[in-house]
Amino acid sequence: MKSFKRLALLFAFFLVVGVLAACGGSSEEGNSGSEDGGSEEGSGESGSITVGGSSAMQPLVAAAAEEFTAENSDAQIDVQGGGSGTGLSEVAAGNFDIGNSDYFAETKDDIDAEELVDHKVAVVGMTAAAHPEVGVDNLSKDELKEIFTGEITNWSEVGGADEEITLVNRPDGSGTRATFNEFGLDGEEPAEGITEDSSNRVMQIVNDTPGAVGYLSFAYFERNEDIVPLGVDGVEPTDENVKTGEFPIWAYQHSYTQGEPEGLEKEFLDYMMSEEIQTSLLPDQGYIPATEMEVERDAEGNESDIE
Amino acid sequence: MENAQKSETNNHRLLKKNGSSSKKNEKRGKALVYSSAAIVIIATLAITLFLGYKGIRTFFVFDVSVWNFLTTTDWDGTENSGAFSFIFGSFAVTFLAALVAAPLGIGSAIFMTEIAKKWGQKVLQPVIEILVGIPSVVYGLIGVTVIVPLLRDNVGGLGFSLLAGMIVVGVMILPTITSISADAIKAIPQDIKDASYGLGATRWQTIYKVIIPAALPSLMTAIVLGMARAFGEALAVQMVIGNVKGLPESITDQAATLTSIITLDMPHTTYGSVHNSLLWSLGLFLLIMSYVFIIIIRFVSSRRKV
């Protein structure tokens, strides 16, 4: 009898905790539900959505969300990071309303790309980043490949200073790494090297370590003007050269939605594609406007001119 | 008002009829304590089961061979991946850090309990407590900005190395080892020490022949607890070790640990993919290792004599 009472108490306790948790959850759901309803009927500018994924896109999306909510005070946009893989998984699972990714959803086998709608909001150019004292600012594609696959181990072999080459990589599956491998190294995997979690850390290490070389998106060369952006086959790594398709290493910044976007999702994505954002905020943040590209690419990496 | 009155009458009753009310309190207290215990147990079980489920999928759903996973070093996020270099890296950092921290920790524990009791407890103890409170990311930052360049300029190599990991983690686990060792030494009965002095032993002889042997099981516990912390440390290690997949050839080479590879790769994987699943398996391995550390601690402390 006594032990039964004990059990009953325990059970009651969990019941209370459970009910409290459930209440919290349901009231939240209730709120967002009514807001969503409002957005469909009314002005379409209220409610709340969650946007997340690619950490490379996070500052851009956060800045755009800030301006958007300043103009539409009823709307709430929650911007999260988490990585491109997380962005794709969460939008496919329905936890994010918009999932950001550095790469095409088609490249991930576990994501049903058919269900997702791709919005290419921006383009990012990337190139190899070298320590200030390596004495090289341009490499042929073959040299680039040989450096990153570990065949060339000293900068003097490509006409630079007599300094050992140290590779700085991003982790497997990182969007920057995937882009650099595909379009910088023509699909070859770089040799093992220091691996760093974020482009910021890569920038720091390339700056501090003699002979280091990594890869970064163009924006980082504005933040740190000492590190050297390497040209490829004599083409300078500039926004202009990316737009015309002359410089090969670039990637779309994708925003994925599950099905066609509706309500606030659509409002926000339209806002991201608007002239205002594409021509002012994007370049300020170091991105290239998707609307100004003269070439386009599909999920297989095939490039073609835009009419 | 009503409440105040109620509690007053309650107190009144408490004073007069001690019986029923205290029994009620007794029950309430019991319920509270029992439910806390139950929650802790359930949480631990749930974590174990969840990690077990997630980690084992790699071997059943994706048909990765356990042997291959544990013994090969080629990690590419596919079914053929092997995690041995990370397992090796984790153990290397853990043992090297213990090698630094154990003598320093036990030494300073002896200093503050036996040699400079007043000064040691007034100055050294607070210093060590502060060390415990510093978050690991701060250790990592100090490692990157101070230790890595220092090693690069003086020892050679890139600076990012096992050696840097050993120093940073060694400093991190130092307070754990020191404070547990100090408690262990304090717990040794004064009689034993007095007897030693009575036999004409010097202070050093007493420390070396009496105090250390008597406290040894607890000192071992301190070291193993420190090692358990070192094994699970992720952030600070990741910042200084270089995260190179492959076996390091020397102490100045870069390496990678189980924890650093989980934090590095996890954001870039999609849920349910092989790569993601492999990372869960690494997590399961970490959990199993922490069970092993606890078993070792149990075993060691059951031999405690004092």
* CB atoms inside a 10 Å sphere around CB B8: 10
Stretch A39-68: mean pLDDT: 76
Q: Give contacts of A 266-305 with B, CB under 8 A.
A: none
Residue B151 above 70 pLDDT? yes
Asked if the Cβ–Cβ distance from A175 to B31 is below 8 Å, we say no
Q: Do B268 and A82 count as a contact with CB atoms less than 8 A apart?
A: no
For residue B112, the one-letter residue type is M
Contact between residue A52 and residue A79 where contact means Cβ atoms under 8 Å apart: yes
The band of B11, judged by pLDDT with boundaries at 50, 70 and 90, is: low
Token representation of residue A18: 């459970």
Provide the shortest C-alpha distance from residue A169 to chain B (in Å).
Answer: 9
A154 DSSP 8-state letter: B
- The token pair that represents A225 in the structure block: 């003007």
Distance from CA of B166 to the nearest CA of A (A): 17
* Residue A136 CB coordination number (10 Å): 19
Model-wide pTM > 0.90 = no
Sequential DSSP letters for A159-208 = TS-S-B-EEEEPPTT-HHHHHIIIIISTTPPPPP-EE-SSHHHHHHHHHH
Q: Is B149 on the interface with A (CB under 8 A)?
A: yes
Chain A contacts in chain B segment 259-278 (CB below 8 A): 263-273, 275-276
Highest mean pLDDT among A17-26, A93-102, B164-173: B164-173
d(CA B241, CA B253): 9
Task: Locate the chain A residue with the closest alpha carbon to B238.
Answer: A196
Of the candidates B38, B246, B270, the beta carbon closest to that of A85 is on B270
Average pLDDT of every residue of chain A? 82
Q: Domains along chain A?
A: 47-124+251-305 (3.40.190.10), 125-243 (3.40.190.10)
Cβ separation of A194 and B254 shorter than 8 Å? yes
Minimal Cα distance from B38: which residue of A? A10
Question: Residue A37 pLDDT more than 60?
Answer: no
Chain B CA closest to residue A175: B268
In chain B, the residue whose alpha carbon lies closest to the alpha carbon of A91 is: B270
H/E element, A217 = strand A212-217
Q: Is this complex scored with an ipTM above 0.85? A: no
Q: Which CATH architecture has domain B83-302?
A: Orthogonal Bundle (1.10)
Nearest-by-Cβ selection for A85 from B263, B264, B269: B269
Largest CA distance in chain A: 87
Measure CB to CB from residue A108 to each of B30, B160, B270 and give the nearest one: B270
A55 touches B267 (CB < 8 A): yes
Quick check: B196 contacting A, CB < 8 Å? no
A110 closest CB neighbour out of B76, B243, B270: B270
Question: Residues 158-177, chain A: which have Cβ within 8 Å of B?
Answer: 166, 171-175
Domain ranges for chain B: 83-302
pLDDT band (50, 70, 90) for residue A21: very low
Quick check: B61 contacting A, CB < 8 Å?
A: no
Q: What average pLDDT does chain B have?
A: 88
Q: Assess B183–A contact: CB distance below 8 Å, yes or no.
A: no
A58 — pLDDT class (breaks 50, 70, 90)? confident
Is the Cα torsion angle A289, A294, A299, A301 positive or negative in sign?
A: negative
How does pLDDT run across B49-100, given as a tens digit for each residue? 999 999 999 999 888 889 989 999 888 888 888 899 999 999 999 999 999 9
Closest residue in A to B27 (Cα) is A6
Torsion angle of the four alpha carbons A236, A213, B138, B92, in this order, in degrees rounded to the nearest 10: 160
pLDDT of residue B257: 94
Instruction: Out of B35, B245, B271, name the one closest to residue A192 (CB).
Output: B245
Give the CB-side neighbour count of residue B103, counting CA atoms within 13 A.
4
The two three-digit tokens of residue A85, written as one number = 């893989």
Q: How would DSSP label each residue in A134-149? A: S---EE-HHHHHHHHT
Q: How confident is the model at residue B162 (pLDDT cuts 50, 70, 90)?
A: very high
Q: Is the pLDDT of residue A294 over 80?
A: yes
pLDDT digits (tens, 9 = 90+) for B166-204: 999 999 999 999 999 999 999 999 999 999 999 999 999
Q: Do B264 and A171 touch (CB under 8 A)?
A: yes
8 Å CB contact of A209 and B238: no
B262 pLDDT band, cuts 50/70/90, is very high
Decide if A107 touches B, using CB distance below 8 A.
no
